Structure 1
């Protein structure tokens, strides 16, 4: 079974801010790796109540947020909109 078979939801159109792309490049992290984690329910560095909120969001069609720390000290947020039309990679301060 591939990671795509385990996808919990559609990402829709995937976009990233220039700052997020720069941070990923500086940390030598492929955006696809984080997108697959997000789409398969690995929400990254979130407290337990936010993990549960994301699980509820998958079931009920709400917005989903993941938080991934990078080795450079930056963090990448990935947000999938409630209607699953788009997913954005961004830095927290860009929200």
Structure 2
């Protein structure tokens, strides 16, 4: 269920790792564009099974993961914790 401006869940405290911040800066991109996509149900570059797991997590309260590619191809993840207390922007290697 992709909705451009609808917030499907709470993000909690939003944080980012140093690696993700550096990658975003190197690409001239903002974390906020990806956070908005994440919160509105645009899960990015995930397989159908992971997208379905996110849809189910909206109801069950499980963790939500999105994956995106920056302009230079660098992958970033956004993970919102199951209790919705926090969301983290990170590189997969920092997980």
Instruction: Quickly name the TM-score band, shorter chain normalised.
Output: over 0.9
Matched, 1:85 2:93: no
Matching of residue 14 in structure 1 with residue 14 in structure 2: yes
Give the distance between the partners of 1:9 and 1:92, measured in 2 at CA: 22
Per-residue CA deviations over 1:29-86 (Å, capped at 9, x if unaligned) read: 1111000000000000001111000000111100000000112221110000000000
**1:75 equivalent in structure 2:** 75
Counterpart for residue 57 of structure 1: 57
Question: What's 1:23 paired with?
Answer: 23
Single out whichever of 35-44 and 69-78 deviates more from structure 2.
69-78
Structure 1 unaligned regions, length at least 5: none
- Return 5+ residue gaps in structure 2 as ranges: none
TM-score, normalising length: structure 1: 0.94
Aligned residues: 92
More helix by share: 1
